[in-house]
Structure 1
Amino acid sequence: MAKVVNYISEAFGELKNNVTWPEWAEVQRLTIVVAVFSIIFALATWGVDVLFAKVLAGFFNLIKG
């Protein structure tokens, strides 16, 4: 158990002393960039899904009819 506590203590020390944290403005800017690209990717995925659904429906209607 002492090893786990020592590991966690060293990890926090590492984060506090050796990590260069970004400025708050940069964090906000990058969060917006990630959100925008996530929305764009979700819309693109939705569009491809709708397109494939229509293509498959047309294909099966062609076979059925």
Structure 2
Amino acid sequence: MDVSRYVNLVYFGIAILAFTIFDKSLIWLWESVDALRQVSIVGDAITLSTLIAIGLTVALVLYLYKRVDIRRYFSEVIIELQKVTWPNWSQTKRSTVITIVFTVVLSVFLWGSDQLWSKLTTWLLTNPGV
């Protein structure tokens, strides 16, 4: 895929995220303000707040799409991501095993240190003559 398709996918992702945020926020607003009554357009699935969220989403995506600097930024990010060399499956497995082993060893060390300092602190606090 060329860069413009990836940029369009980014805009599509922004649209999904923006719609979700707008829709949930407007539903919350409608429920918290007693004077506003939720108007159903098509059953319970599409309400007035949903249509407003769609409108806000379209406006936001069109605004972002018309901004040349934002499109250029997305294109540059995608071009840089295409230069990245991703690890193969064996490298990924090896790195995962190393991470898990290190995490377990460090967890045991921290647990042991915590137990040692806990016992030492308890002993020092309960023996005032020391």
Q: TM-score, structure 1 length as denominator? A: 0.82
Shift of 1:62: 0.6
What SS class does the counterpart of residue 55 from structure 1 fall into? helix
Shift of 1:45: 0.5
Between structure 1 and structure 2, the one with the greater Rg is 2
Q: Which has more helix, going by share of residues?
A: 1
In 1, Cα distance between the equivalents of 2:75 and 2:84? 15
Cα RMSD (Å) of the superposition?
1.6
Matched, 1:6 2:68: no
Moved over 4 A (4+): none
In 1, Cα distance between the equivalents of 2:104 and 2:71? 41
**With CA pairs under 8 Å and 6+ residues apart, which has the higher RCO, 1 or 2?**
2
In 2, Cα distance between the equivalents of 1:37 and 1:31? 10
1:24 corresponds to which of 89, 96, 104: 89
Shift of 1:8: 2.0
In 1, Cα distance between the equivalents of 2:115 and 2:96? 28
In 2, Cα distance between the equivalents of 1:2 and 1:43? 53
Question: What corresponds to 2:118 in structure 1?
Answer: 53
Cα distance change, pair 59–29 in 1 and its aligned pair in 2 (3 A): same
- Structure 1 unaligned runs (5+)? none
Shift of 1:61: 0.9
In 1, Cα distance between the equivalents of 2:70 and 2:124? 59
Question: What corresponds to 1:39 in structure 2?
Answer: 104
Shift of 1:4: 2.6
What SS class does the counterpart of residue 127 from structure 2 fall into? helix
Q: TM-score, structure 2 length as denominator? A: 0.44
Question: What corresponds to 2:127 in structure 1?
Answer: 62
